[in-house]
Amino acid sequence: MKLLVLTLKRALWFLPTVVGLIIITFIISRIIPADPVALVAGDTATPAQVAALRAKLGLDQPLPMQLLNYFEGLLRGDFGRSLFTTRPIADDLMHRLPATIELTLAAMLFTMVVGIPLGVISAMRRNSLLDHALRVVTVSGLAIASFWLGIMLQLWLAMQWDWLPLAGRIEGFKPTDITGMYTVDSLLTGNWSAFASAAAHLILPALTLAFPALATVVRFTRAGVLDVVQSNFVLYERAMGFPPVLITWKYILRNALISTVTQIGLLFGILLAGTVVIETVFNWPGIGYYAVSSILLSDYNAIMGFTIWSGVIFIIVNLLVDIGHTFIDPRESGA
Amino acid sequence: MTRFHTTVRRLGRGTLLVLALGAALALVAGCESKPDKPTKFVFANTSSFDTLDPHQSFDVGRVAPRINLYDGLYRWVDNPPELIPWLAESYTVSPDGLKWTFKLKQGSKFHDGAEITAEDVVYSTERIFGVGKGAAALFSRMLEPGRTKALDKYTVEFTLSKPSAIFLSIIPEIHVVNSALVKQHVKDGDWGAEWLSFNDAGSGSYVLDQFDPAVGWSAKRFDDHFYGWGENSLPEIEFRVVQEINTRVLGMLNGDYHGTDGYLPYDQVKRLQEAENVQVLDEESMRIFMFQLNNQRAPVSDVNVRRAISYAFNYDAFINDILSGSVERNPVPIPNNLWGVPKDVKGYSFDLEKAKAELAKAKVKPDRELTIGVLTGFNQTEQAATLLQDGLRQIGVKSRIESHPWPVMVGKMKEPSTSPDIVIYWISTYYADPNNWIGEMFNSAGWGTFKSSSFYKNPKVDALLDKALQSTDMAVRAKAYEEAARIVVDEAAGVWVYNTKWFGPYANNVQGVRFCPIGNGQEMRWVSFK
């Protein structure tokens, strides 16, 4: 019940947040002194032809009217069309979003599966050689530019040793489309060669994306564990003869995870929005590069569509993080 | 306890987990292997393919679908570019230059087997106007909707609104679509634009197989193509979107791609030239690099100031040191490998004394910072701007570099009041006629288009350019363009730096590439594997 109340409270803020996001992004994208209509009309278009196209696209109307029309379209589920391709924005986004989600999920999975245990080990073996080595790794993760890391991985693992593919999502074209995530779709259809190809292509970009996130998770987990390990209940459990493995991985970790879970939620949102560099280096056809191209071309509807989707996903992820907190620490649901 | 358990305890679960992950990695990686013999030609393209509709795009970066999936009445091939009959077998022009009549080859087919008729050409032309994008603006200067008609099944007549010598040059941009097929997919009066963005209604050498705007497109050879096929022609082609330069280069070195774009930074060209598995073809292109000067805003409106700017740029240092001699100096507003270039014009050179002398003669002195507009993400424009800024500083002229993304720059360049004093960019080859450069840049009738953002106005030059545009006599046209170029250079209406060289990287086992400045060597029907 308390969880339901918490969820409803968070959900009430959802709509005003998204509306505010739409208004701000709409205004900013329109007041930038760019002229995408002239680009669409072509290099040789006269001012009269550009004006005619602008009127046809409804972009000659006052800004408040354009905003109203946009909201009207949204209520119908219409995100508008790309100025450049004339295709529905919703189609373009749905087409690209799974690629970014797949990459982000793979990176987050690696980050959690590797980062949390490393954080615990680093804390429990504080000031050991392993702890110092991990500290070097975490500092590197935060300091190294992701594009440089990506290129280095391409040079060594793809070019020099030919262990993994250089770029792209899969050899050839995609498997049968169910979720849009190639690894998942190929597993669901039993297409093992497609799965192998998709997984192999996913490794390098996911590792590159995960590295800075891994550093953050290791550090937060380590800090959390160090904080909890001094607690009285740990002393009590040791005194009672509980196995050390049980104390560490069940009792200490659970109490230490609060801040880590929050970071994971934030990281997911950041990675989702920040994959553009990785997508560019590895030629990963996701939403990141689509978003940047839209911004550079001032493709208004595409910018709005990407912003709305990113905002919604970010809000949902943080809601899930808050819900996750209540499971880790039931005291939170009473807050 | 078994030996296994002891081993596990000693190694630790963490170590075993790492080993297990590594084994999984090896298994997955091992499942991927490159085929020994290529079964299809893969080209790494720099631009994304937002649409396959040939009437919605006109830019060079997305030319591949237009020239591989579609045909026009005539086609540009080779370098220097030559216009050859393609779907048409011949044409005639009325004495007044208004009626152009084309006879189609009989029996040419679309990909679905339907015969190409004059009605398809009429529909395609009307569709260009209806969609209103791509080459529509170019055609609208000489042709109006409703003035194209089919005289019979294989004869199409265009009635121009005014004589235009470039009409034949731009005829290849009427990519003929299957009218019956497109009409089936028209929605809300869109001329089938949404459907054709994703589909193929052409007759070209290749038939669309798969398309993913985020990935690229692939196509299979159209065996019934009217032109026929040579031996070993490519059975399948793929144009893959690879926007990152480094990834394209590494992909070529790794053998993932068989070709990529020919305008890479020169250090990457050298890297590819040194590779054992890559050959780099080179041709002089027609893409000129220039500084557009705002002729309507003081002090650049003063001819002596413009000449001073022209003398203040170190052309040799830019071409030989920064660009390692990879381009050709081109001092005039027409590519120097095209007709119509006045061969006696030497253009401006880097001479600070002459620059100062011109400034001394100027009636309007540069008493403010000149703005130099460069394109965000295009390093060369930034390098050129920095070099120019240094030259200007040495003659006592202050300047400020402004970087803008292309859409922002296009917006600014519409009006003299908002356009920077100097804008640095390239003019690409849309059709091989001097009008593509000097005509569209310096005829005052074009003010407001991005190409004509010099806002230059000289009635004598306008008259010469109009004469060249309306005459069908090549000698008359060449003379008019040469004379116009002399005046424009003398008045320093712009600064022209170089003509691009195309360095096309291809895998060593590729042969038959026919480079043409229009198309950039991306017409695949001539290409084969050795």
Tokens standing for residue B8: 């596990």
What is the model's pLDDT at position B21? 53
Tokens standing for residue B177: 């679509």
- The shortest C-alpha distance from A199 to chain B (Å) reads 7
Tokens standing for residue B113: 């087997």
ipTM score assigned to the predicted complex = 0.78
What is the model's pLDDT at position A270? 79
What is the model's pLDDT at position A97? 87
Give which of B247, B412, B469 to mutate to test A binding, by max A Cβ within 10 Å: B247
Distance CA B2, CA A273 (A): 50
What is the model's pLDDT at position B15? 54
Give 10-residue mean pLDDT values along chain A (335 residues): 72 82 86 77 76 85 90 88 83 88 93 92 89 89 90 91 90 80 92 91 94 91 88 85 84 82 82 81 87 82 86 80 72 54
How many C-beta atoms surround the C-beta of residue B56 within 10 A?
24
Question: Tell me: the pLDDT tens digits for B461-480?
Answer: 999 999 999 888 899 999 99
What is the model's pLDDT at position A234? 83
Average of per-residue pLDDT across B302-317: 98
Tokens standing for residue B51: 């649409």
What is the model's pLDDT at position B115? 98
- More confident call, B134 vs B71: B71
What is the model's pLDDT at position B142? 92
Q: Which residues pair with B107 in a beta bridge?
A: none
Contact B247 A282 (CB under 8 A): yes
Nearest to B448 among A47, A86, A154 (CB): A47
Average of per-residue pLDDT across B193-222: 94
Contact B32 A200 (CB under 8 A): yes
Contact B405 A39 (CB under 8 A): no
Please name the residues in contact with B203: beta carbons below 8 A apart, sequence gap of 6 or more: B70, B71, B87, B108, B109, B110, B111, B116, B176, B178, B222, B225, B226
Average of per-residue pLDDT across B298-318: 97
- The shortest C-alpha distance from B156 to chain A (Å) reads 26
Q: Would the pLDDT of B39 be above 80?
A: no
Nearest to B29 among A163, A283, A296 (CB): A163
**Could you tell me if B260 lies within 8 Å of chain A, comparing CB atoms?**
no
Q: Would the pLDDT of B7 be above 60?
A: no
Residues on chain B touching A204 (C-beta within 8 angstroms): none
Q: B488, B341 in Cβ contact below 8 A?
A: no
Closest CA in chain B for residue A99: B214
Contact B51 A165 (CB under 8 A): no
Could you tell me how many residues make up chain A? 335
Q: Would the pLDDT of B3 be above 70?
A: no
- More confident call, B12 vs A313: A313
What is the model's pLDDT at position B84? 97
Name all contacts of A85-89 with Cβ < 8 Å and 24+ positions apart.
A85/B50, A85/B51, A85/B56, A85/B197, A85/B213, A86/B51, A86/B56, A86/B190, A86/B193, A86/B194, A86/B197, A87/B50, A87/B51, A87/B194, A87/B197, A87/B198, A87/B213, A89/A301, A89/A302, A89/A304, A89/A305
What is the model's pLDDT at position B1? 47
Q: Would the pLDDT of B23 be above 60?
A: no
How confident is the prediction for chain B on average, in pLDDT?
91
- More confident call, B493 vs A44: B493
Average of per-residue pLDDT across B113-131: 97
Residue A49 φ then ψ, to 5°:
-70, -40
Task: Spell out a b/e string for A140-160, using b for 16 or more CB atoms within 10 Å of the CB, else e.
Answer: ebeeeebeebbbebbeebbee
What distances in angstroms separate CA A271 from CA A21, A108, A182, A208, B242, one per listed residue? 19, 9, 19, 11, 21
What is the model's pLDDT at position A308? 85
Contact B28 A159 (CB under 8 A): no
What is the model's pLDDT at position B24? 53
Q: Would the pLDDT of B95 be above 80?
A: yes
Residues on chain B touching A159 (C-beta within 8 angstroms): 250, 253-254
Residues on chain B touching A196 (C-beta within 8 angstroms): 28, 31-32
Nearest to A167 among B251, B407, B418 (CB): B251
**Could you tell me if B245 lies within 8 Å of chain A, comparing CB atoms?**
no
Residues on chain B touching A202 (C-beta within 8 angstroms): none
Contact B214 A95 (CB under 8 A): yes
Contact B25 A203 (CB under 8 A): yes
Token pair 């989707």: residue: A309
What is the model's pLDDT at position B387? 97
Average of per-residue pLDDT across B181-204: 95
Q: B98, B163 in Cβ contact below 8 A?
A: yes
What's the DSSP call for residue B109? B
Contact B407 A56 (CB under 8 A): no
What is the model's pLDDT at position B19? 54
Strand B41-45 with B236-241, pairing = parallel
Question: Tell me: the pLDDT tens digits for B384-440?
Answer: 999 999 999 999 999 999 999 887 888 888 889 999 999 999 998 889 999 999 999
**Could you tell me if B46 lies within 8 Å of chain A, comparing CB atoms?**
no
What is the model's pLDDT at position B99? 96
pTM listed for this prediction = 0.85
Between positions 347 and 386 of B, the ones with CB within 8 A of A are 376-377
| Angle ∠(B76,B81,B84) on CA atoms, nearest 5 | 40
